[in-house]
């Protein structure tokens, strides 16, 4: 039987199945090597053996990732394929090797240099044509031994050439290192090289980039910018100039300073505005998207202790706000009606019934975060309200529409697009059904819903915090959003500094905390919990667990009974260089602390209420929080809260100090340690402080206290506070994203 090995990058399951069936019709033995996770595909083994590249998840494979970084993707694919013994074995025995996509051609070509027997083709049609040509006959051997000799010889030559290049690259790296750049002589010499006439563009660009980055690392910012200027002056094409500046800015976001960022954003927005004026919406969208990816990069705002967006929003967003293309993104797109329902006002006689007297229809929308909406679902799961819940990420067919920001931008600028039609086809039926759409999070779903005229359907968007640092709100037409709900005052303030026009716009602004069922956290706490300090959620740089480690270090300097329990998944270092750097330092400190039993890494815990029974003090060391649900939950359990005065909001009108009782909030690890020592000095003082915290938490944030605010926000026919306790399961009419009822 003819053995076929197919190589492919990401492809849809239906496409791969169809390809497998076409090969099966020709009676071949097919194996497919996939450069993506195809483990969920249901391809019968009788049709094809499907092999997915292992997803690199272990620390040990990080080295591989670093080694491949910056290499062309087809080369990366070849290296990853070739490292797999299964792949090498299948290739050796194959009669036909097929590259199914362009990204696999390099890998197929490398196999052709190593194996003389198999036919090697690019494309499904030529592969099938070859099999049809030799139907019921063996495929001919591709190369004779004699013909193969020069091919093998060239492979040796290439290997020698690659080694030489690697050596040259290593020498070049040493010659342009930060150490060299610290010296004035070295820096001047390299600036001169970059500015030299006659240097090929590609080499000038590469050298300029390396010199720029190493000068920054050497602390010579002005010289770095001047070197780039010298290179830019030598480039004839605007696209080459933009590519260099974008590359530099793209790396600087991970560092302490971003001197290239303003210029990079300028360049992109200049292009965007020019292309918009020429009605080249696709090109304008590419440029706007490039600018926003830099400006709102998570490394600038979420993976560090402060954000330039919060420190100086007007300065940071000057060029962004001046762009005509950006202004076009949030310009009103029109609305054919006004929402027929709204929040309860005192004069309402009969709140909540919809026109024609039918029950109110409420659609709850999330994107892969159903837990965040659990509170609202619980509140409205009652007779008299027809509730549908959709998690847009669950729609396998259309979920991909949530990702392409470029297409969203293009659609908004152009006013129409194939992408926009797809979004309309998906979401319009929901708008037609609902009286009120409650969207959790001002991100992709809010953008997509605002792409459609809601007519008289009321749109409510709830913000948590991170959205203020992202581009999403700038893509929303707020004339199509009736209400914005902020989980705290400082989140509202942050949002208004980014989008000040909202304060005077027609969208109603509300501050309504999360509605939480805290009763499940009220459990007896044993005495042994007194010296256990807990931290819930440690999986991001913004949580800053190193600050909490400093607190426990100071506590244990005096009393070794204290220990820190860290609950939650650890930081994913793959999120970026800044995250990786933080994670490396944290990892070292944790190892040291674990060795002395100062710290326990509990990992992800299913039963949080049970885990909190062992926590006597809850510490929050975040750089910023929207609401701090974990603090509230732990306080409800009787753990004494110690909350860092979140640096993002410290010194402003609202922050941790106004959200929580002032005695909960501390400014430094020293203050935190002092408070903990104080409240835990005796068991009595500890339990008293815990009870007080629980009383505050339950009194302010339990759903019994906050539900009225939601019912006033979304009045329904049964919104008199008559319902007691959580809703019975089964009352809520949950649906799938297609609208069919489950």
Tokens 């494309």 — which residue?
Answer: 123
- Residue 208 CA, chain-centre distance (Å), reads 31
Residue 134 touches another protein, criterion: CB under 8 A: no
Is residue 122 a contact point for another protein (CB under 8 A)? yes
Q: Smallest gap, in angstroms, from Cβ of residue 74 to another protein?
A: 7
- Helix, strand and coil content of the chain, in percent to the nearest 5, comes to 55, 10, 35
Cα 522 to Cα 459: distance, rounded to the nearest angstrom: 35
Least gap, CB of 328 to another protein (angstroms): 20
Rank residues 18 and 559 by Cβ distance to another protein and give the closer one: 18
Contact segment (CB under 8 A) with another protein among 122-130, 550-558, 665-673, 683-691 equals: 122-130
Residue 364, strand partner residues: 389, 438
Q: Determine if 121 is a binding residue for another protein (CB under 8 A).
A: yes
The piece of 120-128, 294-302, 533-541, 648-656 that touches another protein (CB under 8 A) is 120-128
Candidates 605, 335, 668; CA nearest to 479 is: 335
4, 38, 74, 286: which one binds another protein (CB under 8 A): 74
The DSSP string of 200-213 is: -HHHHHHHHHHHHH
Confirm or reject binding of residue 87 to another protein (CB under 8 A).
no
CA 256 to chain centre: 21
Binding of residue 106 to another protein (CB under 8 A)? yes
Q: In this chain, which stretch among 69-77, 164-172, 244-252, 694-702 interacts with another protein, using CB under 8 A?
A: 69-77
List 1, 12, 69, 138, residue binding another protein (CB under 8 A): 12
Judged by CB under 8 A, does residue 14 bind another protein? Answer: yes
> Which helix or strand (DSSP H or E) is residue 29 part of?
strand 29-34
> Would you say 291 or 451 has its CB closer to another protein?
451
Of 417, 457, 554, 622, which lies in the binding site for another protein, with binding defined by CB under 8 A? 417
Judged by CB, which is closer to another protein: 119, or 323? 119
Q: Over 585-622, what HEC string results?
A: HHHHHHHHHHHCCCEEEEECCCCHHHHHCCCCEEEECC
Q: Which of 112, 217, 692, 727 binds another protein (CB under 8 A)?
A: 112
Please tell me whether residue 734 binds another protein under the rule CB under 8 A. Answer: no
Site for another protein (CB under 8 A): which residue of 88, 92, 158, 403? Answer: 158
Q: Which CB sits closer to another protein, 107 or 463?
A: 107
Nearer to another protein among residue 101 and residue 633 (C-beta): 101
Where is 437: in which H helix or E strand? strand 436-440
- Assess 10 for contact with another protein (CB under 8 A): no
Residues 248-277, interacting with another protein (CB under 8 A):
none
Asked if 421 touches another protein (CB under 8 A), the answer is yes
Residue 27 parent element (H or E): none
Q: How far is CA 472 from CA 77, 331, 409, 506, in A?
A: 33, 14, 10, 19
Tell me which stretch binds another protein (CB under 8 A): 68-76, 80-88, 214-222, 664-672. Answer: 68-76
Q: What is the CA radius of gyration of the chain?
A: 30
**Rounded Cα distance, 215 and 180, in Å:** 9
Site string (357-396) toward another protein, x via CB under 8 A:
----------------------------------------
Q: Does 721 bind another protein (CB under 8 A)?
A: no
Sequence-ordered list of residues with C-beta below 8 angstroms from that of 668, at least 6 positions apart, any chain: none
Q: Could you tell me the two tokens for 679? A: 């409240």
Q: Is 120 in the site for another protein (CB under 8 A)?
A: yes
Question: 262: which 2 tokens?
Answer: 């303003």
702 DSSP 8-state letter: B
Range in contact with another protein (rule: CB under 8 A) among 415-423, 479-487, 500-508, 695-703: 415-423
**Calpha distance 740→737 (Å, rounded):** 7
Single out the residue of 54, 126, 219, 560 in contact with another protein (rule: CB under 8 A): 126
Could you tell me the smallest distance in angstroms from the CB atom of residue 292 to another protein?
Answer: 22
d(CA 89, CA 111): 12
How many of the other CB atoms lie within 10 Å of CB of 569?
11
Among 314, 425, 594, 670, binds another protein (CB under 8 A): 425
Helices (H), 83-144: 85-93, 105-114, 124-133
Candidates 342, 333, 334; CA nearest to 482 is 342
Identity of the residue, 177 or 280, whose beta carbon is nearer to another protein in the bound complex: 280
Residues that bind another protein (CB under 8 A): 11-12, 14-15, 18-19, 72, 74-75, 97, 99-102, 105-106, 108-110, 112, 119-126, 129, 142-143, 158, 397, 416-419, 421-422, 424-425, 429
């Amino acid at each position: 039987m003819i053995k076929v090995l197919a190589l492919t990058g990401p492809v849809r399951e239906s496409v791969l199945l169809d390809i497998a069936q076409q090969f099966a019709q020709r009676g071949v033995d097919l194996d497919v090597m996939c450069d993506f996770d195809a483990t969920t595909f249901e391809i019968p083994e009788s049709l094809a053996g499907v092999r997915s590249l292992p997803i690199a998840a272990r620390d040990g494979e990080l080295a591989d990732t670093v080694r491949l970084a910056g290499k062309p993707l087809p080369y990366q694919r070849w290296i990853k394929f070739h490292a797999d013994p299964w792949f090498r074995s299948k290739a050796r025995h194959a009669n036909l090797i097929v590259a199914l996509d362009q990204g696999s051609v390099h890998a197929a070509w490398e196999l052709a240099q190593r194996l003389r027997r198999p036919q090697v083709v690019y494309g499904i049609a030529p592969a099938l044509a070859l099999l049809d040509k030799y139907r019921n006959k063996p495929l001919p051997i591709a190369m004779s031994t004699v013909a193969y000799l020069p091919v093998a010889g060239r492979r040796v030559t290439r290997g020698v050439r690659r080694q030489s290049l690697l050596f040259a690259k290593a020498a070049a790296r040493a010659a342009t290192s930060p150490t060299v750049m610290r010296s004035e002589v070295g820096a001047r010499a390299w600036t001169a090289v970059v500015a030299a006439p006659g240097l090929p563009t590609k080499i000038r660009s590469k050298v300029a980039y390396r010199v720029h980055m190493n000068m920054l690392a050497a602390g010579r910012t002005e010289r770095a910018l001047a070197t780039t200027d010298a290179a830019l002056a030598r480039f004839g094409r605007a696209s080459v100039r933009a590519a260099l500046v974008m590359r530099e800015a793209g790396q600087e976001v991970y560092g302490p300073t971003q001197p290239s960022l303003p210029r990079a954003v300028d360049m992109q927005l200049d292009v965007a505005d020019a292309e918009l004026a020429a009605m080249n919406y696709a090109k304008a969208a590419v440029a706007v998207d490039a600018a926003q990816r830099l400006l709102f990069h998570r490394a600038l705002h979420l993976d560090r202790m402060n954000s330039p967006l919060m420190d100086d929003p007007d300065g940071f967003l000057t060029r962004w706000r001046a762009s005509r293309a950006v202004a076009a993104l949030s310009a009103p797109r029109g609305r054919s009606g006004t929402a027929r329902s709204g929040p309860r006002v005192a004069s309402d006689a009969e709140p909540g019934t919809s026109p024609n007297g039918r029950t109110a229809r409420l659609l709850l929308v999330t994107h892969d975060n159903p837990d965040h909406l659990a509170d609202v679902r619980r509140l409205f799961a009652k007779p008299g309200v027809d509730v549908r819940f959709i998690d847009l990420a669950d729609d396998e067919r259309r979920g991909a529409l949530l990702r392409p920001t470029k297409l969203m931008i293009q659609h908004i600028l152009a006013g129409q697009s194939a992408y926009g039609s797809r979004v309309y086809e998906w979401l319009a039926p929901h708008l037609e059904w609902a009286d009120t759409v409650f969207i959790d999070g001002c991100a992709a779903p809010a953008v997509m819903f605002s792409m459609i005229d809601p007519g008289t359907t009321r749109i409510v968007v709830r913000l948590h915090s991170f959205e203020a640092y992202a581009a999403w709100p700038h893509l929303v037409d707020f004339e199509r959003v009736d209400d914005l709900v902020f989980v705290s005052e400082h989140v509202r303030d942050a949002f208004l500094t980014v989008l000040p026009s909202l304060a005077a716009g027609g969208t109603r602004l509300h501050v309504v905390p999360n509605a939480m069922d805290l009763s499940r956290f009220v459990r007896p706490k044993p005495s042994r919990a007194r010296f256990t300090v807990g931290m819930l959620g440690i999986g991001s740089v913004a949580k800053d667990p190193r600050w909490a480690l400093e607190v426990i270090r100071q506590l244990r300097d005096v009393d070794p009974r204290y220990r820190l329990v860290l609950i939650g998944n650890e930081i994913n270092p793959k999120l970026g260089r800044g995250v990786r750097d933080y994670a490396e330092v944290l990892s070292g400190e944790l190892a040291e602390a674990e060795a002395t039993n100062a710290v326990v890494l509990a990992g992800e815990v299913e039963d949080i209420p049970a885990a909190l029974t062992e926590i006597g003090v809850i510490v929050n060391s975040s750089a910023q929080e929207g609401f701090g649900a974990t603090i509230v939950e732990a306080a409800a359990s009787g753990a004494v809260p110690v909350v860092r005065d979140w640096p993002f909001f410290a010194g402003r009108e609202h922050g941790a100090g106004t959200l929580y009782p002032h005695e909960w909030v501390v400014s430094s690890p020293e203050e935190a340690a002092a408070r903990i020592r104080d409240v835990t000095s005796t068991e009595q003082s500890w339990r008293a402080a815990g009870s007080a915290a629980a009383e505050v938490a339950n009194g302010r944030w339990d759903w019994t206290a906050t539900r009225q605010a939601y019912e006033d926000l979304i009045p329904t026919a049964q919104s008199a506070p008559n319902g007691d306790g959580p809703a019975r399961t089964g009352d809520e009419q949950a649906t799938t994203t297609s609208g069919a009822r489950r």
